[in-house]
Chains A and B, each alone.
Chain A
Amino acid sequence: MIGTVTPASKMAEGVPAVVSSRFGVPDGHTLAGYTSSGSYKGYEALRQVLEMSPAQVGSVVKDATVLGRGGAGFPAGVKWGFCPPGVWPRYIVVNGDESEPGTYKDRLLMERDPHQLIEGCLIAAYAIGAAQVFLYARGEMPHAHERLAAALNEAYAAGLIGKNILGTDFSVDIVLHWGAGAYIVGEETALIESLEGNRGMPRLKPPFFPAAKGLYMAPTIVNNVETLANLPWLFNHGVEQYRSVGTEASPGTRLIALSGHVNNPGIFEIPQGTTTFRDLFESEIYGNGIRTGHELKMFIPGGASAPWFFPEQIDLPLEGRLIGGQGSMLGSGAVVVMDETTDAVRAALRLVRFFARESCGKCTPCREGTTWEEKILQRILDGHGRPSDIDLLLDVADNISPGPYPVAADPGNDLEAIPFPPRQTTICPLGPSSVAPITSAIRRFRHEFEAKIVQRDLISVSSEPFTDLPEQSSLAHGAVGHV
């Protein structure tokens, strides 16, 4: 059938496939496939874990330093320890809402290896003493729902979930839940609101840190799909082997979605911290070079929310802390490559439009600010920009995220990196994320903005009132009727 390519996934030599070993196995999503293929035998880890104490299980995860794969990179074992002692019930919410532009890995993990995720959930539930696990998958992924539902049904029938798992006193349910289309629901407190049946609007932290006051105000651990999918391999191979891949601070592997202007876009499982962006773009097993005949202009190292990097940063390894120190983030493992044909204003506008559309509307700087940012960028792109627009854009951005905004080092201009994360006047980081493309583009490609603004003078458009501009922006969620 037209347009149904399966994504590539190849491993560098000597790198174990921790989470992607069944991506290419036709029946890897079934119970039979899970227990007979891949880089470990399915549900063996669960058997082992049930013979350990929950505290021991927690220590293994802590010692291995399983960093969160959802964006913030917080170690899972440490997070689990934040549940206040003696407070029950506790819940686990699995974050499968993957919608950060450029990110494509959790969907594959859910579609291709659902049992791996289920086993990961069970290990986490055993360790923290969860009363129930809610697996929140993004609404627009019905195929993932089908695979997860089928896998859950099989696992229940085999006594691997539910009452007295494998004949022990460990009992827990995993409830498959799904969203209905809203990027902001990926934010953990918004995810919880949504799971409670409400509009997905983030809560203030503090006091609403999920580990203390989460779902139904009970202690709740929110973990990303990929984070939990790491656990079965870890318990099969042990802490030492897990830590032998990657670096001291960032052990293990990461799934990276490499998209945009490379010859071979795809999902790659790479060792954390040792692979550089150059390896990723140029190696034959990964990107196989920038589009033939073109050259790198800029790239996004960690999803739409991340400030941009430029050719000078290409030798940085993909490691959270290093990238943070250099003014951006590894985020959700989404690397977007843009070559010299890319119009910086147009790319920035598209990213900003996303944040304007997805703003939940709870706080004013984000709700109003992202809409303004979009309008101003749109008129610049349309040739209606005013000379003051660049300053106006930066001013609006500064109201959402008071500067200096994180930026990459620019050796030619003697500019040092300003480290990530940014400051914010908002409840959650979505608003500040809209600032990333604006400051990245203006700082580096100011001349492209100016050229478009000058163009306006050439076509001598008289100064039009702001409100007469073509209405491009869709307001925050719910503020406009559904189409």
Chain B
Amino acid sequence: MSRFSPANLRLAQEIIRRYPVAKSATIPLCHLAQEQDGYLADDSMAQIAELVGCSSAEVLGTASFYEMFKMHSVGKFCLGVCTNISCQLLGGEELLEHAEQTLGIRPGGTTADGLFTLEDVECIAACTEAPAVQVNYRYFHRLTPQDLDQLIEELRSGALDGVVPAHGTLGKVRQDLGEDRIANITPPEDQTEPVWLRRHRELAEAAAAADAGTPSAVGNDS
């Protein structure tokens, strides 16, 4: 049975068609599955394997390498506090400790109400806005412990639902690259020279031949 919903299955097939080699779609499809279910389920990985043409062990092998894929359900909000250098210098580690106390969990843990999973994360590219936090990968900058408490409160009350979607949701806008749009998918075995390059090469060769006073070399294989 399909773990993907019919709409997501269609989307998965469209995503696969963008790549010259289907297996390249593995990570985007794992994201799609996680977006649908909030985590990456075993039967999703089995279905992805079937779709991209590899074994489900290979999909697990790939997915387990990457931090973002969760193999079991996590809180509605994944709260990642950056403790890397720029944030550490401005109180990131203390902020994480504060979050542990407020939520009553350690990094990696989920609150009993299933709302929050806390994470001690590496640099999230917001270093000038330290200490920085992400909630389901949406940014919050320069937080004091009080700001963090307020943020947690607002998340809990649903006040930020429009800003922070549920865990697993990535970009709310998708690239629209259906079959009618794609210009060309070139698999590695298709070894033709792109037309605009060929045109310019032939022009250059003809010009060189004219300069040398010889007939055009175009088409001469020797």
Residues of A near any B CB (own CB < 8 A):
1-5, 7, 53-55, 86-89, 98-104, 106-107, 126, 129-132, 138-143, 145-150, 152-153, 156, 161-164, 168-173, 175-183, 194-200, 216-218, 257-261, 265-267, 300, 304, 334, 336, 338, 342, 346-347, 350-351, 354, 357-358, 360, 477-478, 481-483
Interface residues in B72-124 (C-beta closer than 8 Å to A): 83-86, 88-90, 107-109, 119, 122-124
Q: A5-B141, A171-B184, A482-B71 are in contact. Are A103 and B122 (CB under 8 A)?
A: no
Report Cα–Cα, A478/B185, bound state, in Å.
33
Q: Is B222 on the interface with A (CB-CB < 8 A)?
A: no
Chain B contacts of A5 at CB under 8 A?
129, 141-142
Q: Is B157 on the interface with A (CB-CB < 8 A)?
A: no
User: Min CB distance, A86 to chain B, in Å?
Assistant: 8
Report Cα–Cα, A342/B91, bound state, in Å.
11
Chain A contacts of B127 at CB under 8 A?
101-104, 257, 259, 265, 334, 336
Query: Would you give the 0/1 interface string for B147-167, flagging 1 where the beta carbon is closer than 8 Å to chain A?
Result: 100110010000010010000
Partner of A131, one of B62, B181, B194: B194
Contact, CB under 8 Å: B186 / A139: no
Would you list 7 pairs from A and B whose C-beta atoms are within 8 A, ordered by A residue? A3-B140, A53-B200, A140-B137, A142-B171, A162-B181, A179-B66, A197-B27
Contact, CB under 8 Å: A129 / B194: yes
Which single residue of chain A is at the shortest CB-CB distance from B182? A173
Report Cα–Cα, A153/B128, bound state, in Å.
31
Chain A contacts of B45 at CB under 8 A?
none
Interface residues in B159-205 (C-beta closer than 8 Å to A): 160, 163, 169-177, 181-188, 190-197, 199-200, 203-204
User: Min CB distance, A50 to chain B, in Å?
Assistant: 9
Q: Point out which of A138, A180, A357, A478 has the most chain B C-beta atoms below 10 A from its C-beta.
A: A180
Contact, CB under 8 Å: B128 / A173: no
Give me 7 other A-B pairs in contact (C-beta within 8 A), A7-B129, A265-B129 excluded.
A54-B200, A103-B125, A106-B125, A162-B182, A198-B23, A257-B128, A350-B88
User: Min CB distance, A258 to chain B, in Å?
Assistant: 7
Contact, CB under 8 Å: B85 / A101: yes
Contact, CB under 8 Å: A173 / B107: no
User: Min CB distance, A150 to chain B, in Å?
Assistant: 5
Contact, CB under 8 Å: B196 / A54: yes
Report Cα–Cα, A148/B195, bound state, in Å.
27
Partner of B123, one of A102, A126, A132, A177: A102
Q: Is B6 on the interface with A (CB-CB < 8 A)?
A: no
Contact, CB under 8 Å: A195 / B200: no
Which single residue of chain A is at the shortest CB-CB distance from B188? A216
Contact, CB under 8 Å: A338 / B89: yes
Report Cα–Cα, A45/B174, bound state, in Å.
27
Contact, CB under 8 Å: B140 / A2: yes
Q: A156-B181, A175-B177, A197-B24 are in contact. Are A169 and B67 (CB under 8 A)?
A: no
Query: Would you give the 0/1 interface string for B126-147, flagging 1 where the beta carbon is closer than 8 Å to chain A?
Result: 1111100110011111110001
Contact, CB under 8 Å: A266 / B173: no
Chain A contacts of B19 at CB under 8 A?
175
Interface residues in B1-51 (C-beta closer than 8 Å to A): 18-21, 23-28, 30-31
Report Cα–Cα, A351/B24, bound state, in Å.
32
Q: Is B218 on the interface with A (CB-CB < 8 A)?
A: no
Q: Point out which of B30, B154, B187, B196 has the most chain A C-beta atoms below 10 A from its C-beta.
A: B196
Report Cα–Cα, A218/B61, bound state, in Å.
24
Report Cα–Cα, A483/B130, bound state, in Å.
25
Chain A contacts of B128 at CB under 8 A?
7, 104, 257-259, 265-267
User: Min CB distance, A263 to chain B, in Å?
Assistant: 12
Partner of A99, one of B69, B123, B129, B173: B123
Contact, CB under 8 Å: A150 / B27: no
Q: A178-B28, A350-B88 are in contact. Are A265 and B199 (CB under 8 A)?
A: no
Which single residue of chain A is at the shortest CB-CB distance from B192? A88
Contact, CB under 8 Å: B203 / A53: yes
Chain A contacts of B206 at CB under 8 A?
none
Which single residue of chain B is at the shortest CB-CB distance from A195? B24
What 9 A-B pairs are tightest by C-beta distance, nearest first? A181-B67, A483-B108, A145-B171, A197-B26, A180-B66, A131-B186, A197-B23, A259-B86, A216-B188
Contact, CB under 8 Å: A169 / B196: yes
Q: A53-B200, A103-B125 are in contact. Are A197 and B25 (CB under 8 A)?
A: yes
